[in-house]
Amino acid sequence: MKAPDSTAPAGPWLPSLDIVIPLFDRFEPLDAIGPYEILAYVPGATVKFVTVEPGLVQDVLGSLLVHVPTRYSDVERCDVLLVPGGGSFQTMVNDPAFLDWVRRIHAGTRFTTSVCTGSLVLGAAGLLNGLTATTHWDASSDLESYGAVYTPERVVRHDRVITSAGVSSGIDMAVRLAALLTDDVTAQAIQLYTEYDPQPPFDTGSAAKAPAEVLERARTLG
């Protein structure tokens, strides 16, 4: 699979927008692809995946291979930085050169965002110190080790820093981000076009709602 470099048609009111999503081996697929699906429809947006060296990047489930043609170090600025999570966060937080790049890019973004354990990367880069932030429920203590204050909210915004909770929460964040980049009507139109109207069969989508046996089983999945 080749990583898409999507350019949506520009609306008459909106300049071009560069949106960058770093992908490292063992990334959580929905963390990246869910927001990509939403943000690629933002008028004027170009969504680009980047990595350490051009080549194949494998997801955390082991079956999805994405060809990413662009080095992150070749990107000097962007309007939106979106850091996905999954097992890849461990590589990112332990890579000083990548964290330096995140700090440099953040200095010029309109929004710096994360999904799931991607917030740990923002924390490791020093961008969440003293801020309320969210992440996957099973990584709350890790997030707080970087100086953030964990909240179980699905999406948390502090000016131009936006964090979202685990996996599917990235879609919620992307719809809100689409509204911030354009307007509410455009974001609602994207939500409608993608038919994002969640009606889950079970009410166990948060740690606060799930019974103990479900929490225990969920911890075996990561």
Q: Could you confirm whether 78 is annotated as catalytic?
A: no
pTM greater than 0.75 (yes/no): yes
Residues 104/138, Cβ–Cβ less than 8 Å: no
List the beta bridge partners of residue 162: 113, 157
**Selected catalytic residue, list 3, 105, 116, 165:** 116
As a whole number of Å, the CA-based R_g of the chain is 17
Residues paired with 112 in a beta bridge: 81, 161
The pLDDT, as a whole number, for residue 9 is 46
Q: How far apart are CA 35 and CA 178, in angstroms?
A: 10
What pLDDT shows up at residue 12?
44
* Beta-carbon count within 10 A of 121 CB: 27
The pLDDT of residue 222: 83
Reported confidence tier of residue 4, pLDDT bands at 50, 70, 90: low
In one letter, which amino acid is 89? F
Please name the residue that has the structure tokens 């996905």.
84
> What is the sign of the dihedral through the CA atoms of 21, 22, 28 and 29?
positive
Q: Bridge-partner residues for 58, per DSSP? A: 65
- Residue 1 is predicted with a pLDDT of 56
CA distance 121 to 149: 15
Interval 118-146 mean pLDDT: 98
Weakest mean pLDDT among 8-22, 75-89, 134-148, 153-167 = 8-22
- CB-CB neighbours of 46 under 10 Å: 19
pLDDT tens-digit map of 110-127? 999 999 999 999 999 999
Closest CA to 35 of 164, 195, 177, 174: 174
Angle, helices 169-181/184-193, rounded to nearest 10 degrees: 140
The reported pLDDT for the residue numbered 10 is 43
3-state secondary structure 104-117: HHHCCCCEEEEECC
Is the model's pLDDT at 173 over the cut of 70?
Answer: yes
Average pLDDT over residues 102-111: 98
State the burial class of residue 72 (Cβ atoms within 10 Å of its Cβ: 0-12, 13-18, 19+): buried
With 0-12 / 13-18 / 19 or more C-beta atoms within 10 angstroms meaning exposed / middle / buried, residue 185 is exposed
Kindly list the domain boundaries of the chain, sorted by start residue: 6-218
CATH code for the part of the protein at 6-218: 3.40.50.880
Task: Inform me whether the pLDDT recorded for 97 exceeds 80.
Answer: yes
Q: What is the C-alpha separation between 200 and 114, in angstroms, rounded?
A: 24
